[in-house]
Amino acid sequence: MSIAVTTQIICFSVLSLVVIVGALGVILLESIVYSAFLLGGVFLSVAGLYLLLNASFVAAAQVLVYVGAVNVLIIFAIMLVNKKEDLKPIDNLKLRRIVSTSICLTLLSLLIRVDLSNVWGIADPNRSIGEESTIRIGEHLFSDYLLPFEVASVLLLMAMIGAIVLARRDVMNEDISTGLPVDQELIEKSSEPLLMKKN
């Protein structure tokens, strides 16, 4: 076995271990802050897996979008709304857990079955395009994948409008679930210069 192959195997096993353990941590840990930081670790390791597959542009985009934007915003939101509240105890917790575990295990076995039975068309490593992939991705985005690419931007616009409506409580001054008027104390008042008041 050559040194390059050994390095690749070591990197692959470490990265997959981090992805699996990290993902388990994200859903099993009690502290939501730890979960959010672990999610960032999982995203980073997935970027590492892309790097191993010679997809450096996708790896960098993964870091930029998922770690640098999505995960930072998740952590940001958690820290701004770090409310300590006691959750209501749920009835039949044990039964619920058993049902959800069995559903998840069924799904997992289905996916394993897919992995084993499907014949994956693995590309010939000798014909890998390597660094040229950036150009190919651009070509595809502006030709046969143009419509999904543009539709994704409409999705982002919708999310943005939704966020603005939620943030500006003078637009929606009723709580959706209870119908009660929303506490508007925290809305920023129009700022007056401090010195003007003294006169």
Partner 1 sequence: MNSGLDLEYSFNEILKGFGLSSELAHIIWLPLPMLLVLVSAVVGVLVTVWLERKISAAAQQRIGPEYAGALGVLQPIADGLKLLVKEDIIPAKADSILFTAGPILVLVPVILSWLIVPFGQNLLISNVGIGIFLWIALSSIQPIGLLMSGYASNNKYSLLGGLRAAAQSISYEIPLALSVLAIVLMTNSLSTIDIVNQQSGAGILSWNIWRQPVGFIIFWICALAECERLPFDLPEAEEELVAGYQTEYAGMKFALFYLGSYINLILSALLVSILYLGGWGFPIPVEIIAKVINLPIDAPMIQVFTASIGIIMTVLKAYLLVFVAILLRWTTPRVRIDQLLDLGWKFLLPISLANLLVTAGLKLAFPQFFGG
Residue 150: CB minimum distance to partner 1, A:
18
Residue 4: CB minimum distance to partner 1, A:
8
Beta bridge partners of 181: 174
Q: What is the largest CA-CA distance in the chain?
A: 84
Residue 79: CB minimum distance to partner 1, A:
6
Nearer to partner 1, 97 or 140 (CB): 140
Nearer to partner 1, 131 or 183 (CB): 131
Say if CB 174 and CB 182 are below 8 A apart: yes
CA distances, 99 to each of 74, 94, 107 (Å): 29, 9, 12
User: If we measure between CA atoms, which residue out of 23, 42, 39, 49 comes closest to residue 104?
Assistant: 23
Q: Which residues bind partner 1 (CB under 8 A)?
A: 2-4, 33, 37, 40, 44, 56-57, 60-61, 63-64, 67-69, 71-73, 75-76, 79-80, 130-131, 134
Where does the chain have alpha helices with state H?
3-28, 32-52, 56-62, 72-80, 93-117, 133-141, 146-167
Residue 63: CB minimum distance to partner 1, A:
4
Nearer to partner 1, 32 or 107 (CB): 32
Nearer to partner 1, 11 or 60 (CB): 60
